[in-house]
Amino acid sequence: MRRYALLYEKLLAEVEKEGINVFEADIGRLKGLYIDGNIALNSSIETYSEMACVLAEELGHHHTTHGNILDQNKPENRKQERRARAWAYERLVSLKKLIEASNQGIRNRYELAEFLGVSERFIEEAIQYYREKYGLYCKLDDYIIYFEPLGVFKKL
């Protein structure tokens, strides 16, 4: 529980350092919303891990998107949404963090989510993102990271 809160607090500090206001509100079916330097997080979110994931995605919108992209029927808006999510995946579940987790003895997705302070769903989505980006595996430094099934191996 504490790791989840720490990640959320760390992201809050980063967001505030960038001059972005964060507040909780009833925003209907949306989990988060970024508008002109303000991030609204849905007040119905119950866990720090999910709040951290949503906050990271909204910070991704700050860094990667422009304009109103609420209408996801438009292809350009879907592309911008995907860019913001990719930013969040690479920020919270980076390839280096996957290697670090493996080196710490983390062996399954539940442990990985706990180690990183994110939700299991976010882990699943991040791994899917990496599979689509790299294929079944990628090489980084002296490691090979497999995405299906998830595993990290040090090259000999």
What pTM value is reported for the model?
A: 0.91
Q: Do β-strands 21-25 and 38-42 pair in parallel, antiparallel, or remain unpaired? A: parallel
Q: Which helix (H) or strand (E) holds 109?
A: helix 109-116
How confident is the model at residue 19, as a pLDDT?
95
How confident is the model at residue 8, as a pLDDT?
93
Q: What are 33's two structure tokens?
A: 């919303």
How confident is the model at residue 29, as a pLDDT?
92
Would you give per-residue pLDDT tens digits along the chain (156 residues)? 566 578 999 999 999 999 999 999 999 999 999 999 999 999 999 999 999 999 999 999 999 988 877 778 888 878 988 999 999 999 999 999 999 999 999 989 999 999 999 999 999 999 999 999 999 999 999 999 999 999 999 988
Q: Is the dihedral of CA 60, 64, 66, 68 positive or negative?
A: negative
